Amino acid sequence: MKRYRHYLKKILYICLACVMLFALVKGIGLPSENGRLPIGWLAVLDDTWEVERENVQDKKSISYSYVLPERLPGDVLLSVESFWSALRVYLDGQLLYSYEDPYLEKGTVRHWIDLPYDSSGKKLTIQYLSSENGSAHDYSGDVYLGEKNAVMGRFLSEHLYAGFFTVSMWLMSVGLYICSIFFKKRLSAAGYKSVKYLSAFIFLTGLWVVTDSQLLQLFTGKMGLMLLVSFLSFMFMPLPLVLYIKEMLLHEKRGLDLLLLLYQLCIAFVCISYIFRLMPMTVPLVAQHILVVVTIAVVIRNGIVDIKKYHNNDMYPVLSGFGIFSAFGLLALVLFYTRPGSAYSIAFSVGMFLFVVCLAYGAFKKLYYNMKINESIAIYKRIAYRDLMTDLGNRSAFIKEQERTKEVKNMAYIVFDVNDLKKVNDTYGHQEGDRLITDTARCIRGVFENEGKCFRIGGDEFAVVLREHSEKEILGKLDLFNKRLAKINEARKISLQIAYGYSTGMGTEKDAETLFREADYHMYVRKKNMKEIQHGQTEK
């Protein structure tokens, strides 16, 4: 019956999802109203362009010509994109705008050009020229013509994804980093490192996407700096990723150290090449792309071996993420090399987002597993050094404390012993004897728990280790102990009698064992005296 109920719930959820989907489809099909915020006139110049290829002063040139509409509103803005090339814009043969990038250090740039008021019906020419280090690319981006607010609105709608992606990645990165700090003591070394490396990788991913997009042009004109940050973040991204994979793999880590070295050499080469302008930044980018492909292949191979040979199930979400990333990454590379300036960044961002989700799932899964393991270890450690009946330290904990003690000049021992425990066990049963033990522990803890360390070191024997306590202070605490014991005995039918003795290391050169034996001796002397007094009272 439960099984059928489970399937029935699934069917109901599926039906609900279908109904919601049909409702959304119907809503999408409704006619548009005039409730949308007006953003002004905008035209995408996607009609047929006249294309002309020629050489201008030993530079390859591609020119696109377009006749503007006869009626243009005032305050018209032209938005055009250049991809690693110089740009010139003419209006009826007159130079209107010029942009140079001789060393290919600015990458893809979106240009906003004010058109004169008398531009209607004139011939617009957009010319791309190669530099000495590159070539002119066929234009693949849209050209916008319209009022400023409309052009800016179109630009934002196309690039706002980068802002959302970066914010979400940085929030995830900060969240993971905080988790790594908060749970550091509860994680293994490998678990802590893996979360920290993943956090760094996600942060660099967000940084690369926002700097690779043109969104930051709204805030700064330093496109050369943005391009450099974009390149460096893209080249640094694999380092924390490979380190994360190393921590996730159990044994099969072959080739990962070599990949880390190659990535570092590639970064160093890019920086040197940029400083001395040895070559365009796009040249070492090819090597980086090859390394990324090799890394994907190595990680998938090592992950499969680790799963099959060593049963490392933590690698399943990692391999799933790499599979998704491989598909979208391949699409992004194809777009990057075949259609410069196209939406390769969007394809990469979608793949990267899904990839990060898979890695984060794997990291949290391992984080949870490590926390459970460490909690179990902590419980076992607690059991190993705690007396379960009294919740005081046991004999093992006491011996460990003695082994750690190197200096006894500032410490003291107090040893306690429950009188007539065996007699109570034999006469009234072990349950009553256990009450004597727990009441003794409660009395000791109530006086000395905040003063030192308390232990149960035998069946009826207890010890307290004090530091920085004078003999006068110790006697004061023992007086308080006697009063607490008397109060406990008021509620007991069988009187609880406890003998104790102490020894202080003030002004002596004794070791911890000798000091403890002295306290133990004083306890037995007191115990003997208490029995003699009790025996005398019995005879009377």
Pairwise CA distance, residues 452 & 444, whole Å: 11
Q: Do 191 and 291 belong together in one domain?
A: yes
Q: Determine, yes or no, domain membership for 309.
A: yes
Q: Which two tokens stand for residue 416?
A: 């306690």
How high is the pLDDT of residue 57? 64
What residue numbers bound the domain in which 535 lies? 395-539
In a domain, 32, yes or no: no
Beta bridge partners of 413: 465, 503
In the numeric block, the tokens 């994680």 are attached to 187
Return the CATH number at 494: 3.30.70.270
Q: What is the CATH number of the domain that holds 228?
A: 1.20.1070
Q: CB burial class (10 A; 0-12, 13-18, 19+) of residue 475? A: exposed
DSSP letter at 116?
A: P
Examine the domain organization and report whether 95 and 201 are in the same domain: no
Contact (Cβ atoms closer than 8 angstroms) between residue 76 and residue 145: yes
Is the distance from CB of 420 to CB of 497 less than 8 angstroms?
yes
Final residue before a domain boundary, out of 116, 134, 151: 151
DSSP state of 82: E
Of 151, 166, 187, which residue constitutes the final position of a domain? 151
Residue 357 falls inside a structural domain: yes
73 with 203, same domain?
A: no
Q: Does any domain span residue 390?
A: no
**20 within domain boundaries:** no
Q: Quick check: is 314 in a domain? A: yes
Same domain flag for 343 and 428: no
Return per-residue pLDDT of the chain as tens, 540 residues.
Answer: 555 566 677 777 777 777 787 777 666 666 655 445 556 788 887 667 888 888 766 678 889 998 998 888 878 999 998 888 889 999 999 999 999 988 888 888 999 999 998 899 999 999 988 765 554 455 556 788 998 889 988 898 888 889 999 999 999 999 989 988 887 877 778 888 988 999 999 999 999 999 988 899 988 888 889 999 999 999 999 999 999 999 989 888 989 999 999 999 999 999 999 999 898 888 888 899 899 999 999 999 999 999 999 889 889 999 999 889 888 888 887 877 776 555 677 788 888 889 988 988 888 887 777 777 777 777 777 788 889 899 899 999 999 988 888 777 788 999 999 999 999 999 999 999 999 999 999 999 999 999 999 999 998 999 999 988 889 999 999 999 999 999 999 888 888 999 999 999 877 777 888 899 999 999 999 999 998 887 665 555
The number of CA neighbours under 13 Å toward the Cβ of 378 is 10
265 and 128 in a common domain: no
**127 and 208 share one domain:** no
Q: Say whether both 323 and 414 belong to one domain.
A: no
CA distance 364 to 369: 8
Radius of gyration over every alpha carbon of the chain, rounded to an integer in angstroms: 39
CATH of the domain at 96: 2.60.120.260
Alpha-carbon torsion (492, 494, 495, 499), positive or negative: negative
Strand partners, 492: none
Kindly state whether residues 259 and 178 are assigned to the same domain: yes
Asked whether residue 186 falls in the same domain as residue 311, the answer is: yes
Encoded tokens for 347: 């394809």
In a domain, residue 446? The reply is yes
SS3 64: strand
Separation of alpha carbons 322 and 308, rounded Å:
17
Q: 235 and 359 in one domain?
A: yes
170-205 in b/e form (b: 16+ CB < 10 A) is bebbeebbebbeebeebbbeebbbbbbbbbbbbbbb
Q: How many angstroms separate the Cα of 15 from the Cα of each of 9, 11, 21, 33?
A: 10, 6, 10, 31
**Structural domain tally of the chain?**
3
Q: Do 163 and 146 fall into the same domain?
A: no
Same domain membership, residue 452 and residue 424: yes
Mutual angle of helices 238-248 and 282-310, in 10-degree steps: 10
Residue 77 pLDDT: 93
Residue 19 maps to a domain:
no
Q: What's the chain's length in residues?
A: 540
What is the pLDDT at residue 96? 96
Enter the pTM of the model: 0.67
Domain boundary among the residues 381, 413, 437 is at: 381
Nearest to 105 by CA among 86, 126, 127: 86
pLDDT reported for residue 208: 92
DSSP, collapsed to helix, strand or coil, labels residue 72 as coil
